[in-house]
Amino acid sequence: MKYVKPIVRIVLSITLIVVFVLAAVNMPKQRCERISVVAHTQNESVTLAQKDVERLLSDAKIEVVGKAVKEVDLGEITNLLLANPYIATVNFVHFAGKKLVIDYNLKEIVLHVFTPNGEHYFVDNGGTVVPFTSKMQDYLMVVNGNVSDNYKLGKKAPRKVQDALALARKINENDFYQAQFRQIYLNNHGEMELTATVGGQTILFGGLDDADQKLANLKTVYENGLSHKGYNTYAQLDARFKNRIIATRK
């Protein structure tokens, strides 16, 4: 009896090895039954979802479903995804049984930019110009005014738009700023202006110098000043000066 347990272990080990070998041999012969897409995003909206990926594959004439697993070129699919303007990184493209799993990270869209000639586009958190898509339903920071028409999709946004992006990042880090400031206007003097959500004031912000202090000053004015005098009392707030806000009555 003392030899029974070792023999059982050996038989089980051999059985497992045979099962794995058979699986490895038969796996390439299996045919793909479906595609599963996992899209990770920092936005609320998903700019590229399951149906979009299936359409990409179809347009590129890449057959997956119904095709033998060994005949599916995973590298080709990965390169196709990496070329898409809404995808930041591809985590993996592999088979789990008869299912092709595609996992990727989407770009975080921060700005919705409108140019004087009527065009518009998005800018991601890295400062890259991303084409507009109606799938993006997030309440994004709007940038308009004296915006350069000299931009290219997939390239870095114009310099002044980059400044607006830097300011938008600071605004989005604070709940009060994010609720109060939803539009950045680039004026003809190369400076930024904000439009207040509550009160509707035009806020002369200037450049990025002392941006944190300017935002803090504005918050103080809204919470300790305008909340008592009335948000509609002033038409304009000038935050361009250090440690003070100049208010202009309506």
| Span 149-186, pLDDT tens digits | 999 999 999 999 999 999 999 999 999 999 999 999 99
- How does strand 181-186 pair with strand 246-249? unpaired
Q: Which residue has the tokens 């390239």?
A: 155
Q: Which residue type sits at 178?
A: Q
Q: Which residue type sits at 139?
A: Y
Domains of the chain from N-terminus onward: 31-106 (3.10.20), 109-249 (3.40.50.11690)
Name every residue whose Cβ is closer than 8 Å to that of residue 65 and which is 6 or more positions away in sequence.
Answer: 32, 33, 34, 35
Q: Which residue type sits at 100?
A: L
The pLDDT tens digits for 26-73 are 455 799 999 999 999 999 999 999 999 999 999 999 999 999 999 999
CA atoms in the 13 A half-sphere facing the CB of 140: 29
Find the mean pLDDT for residues 74-84. Answer: 98
CB 109 within 8 A of CB 124: yes
With CA atoms as reference, report the closest residue to 144 among 181, 199, 170, 183.
183
Question: Residue 9 above 70 pLDDT?
Answer: no
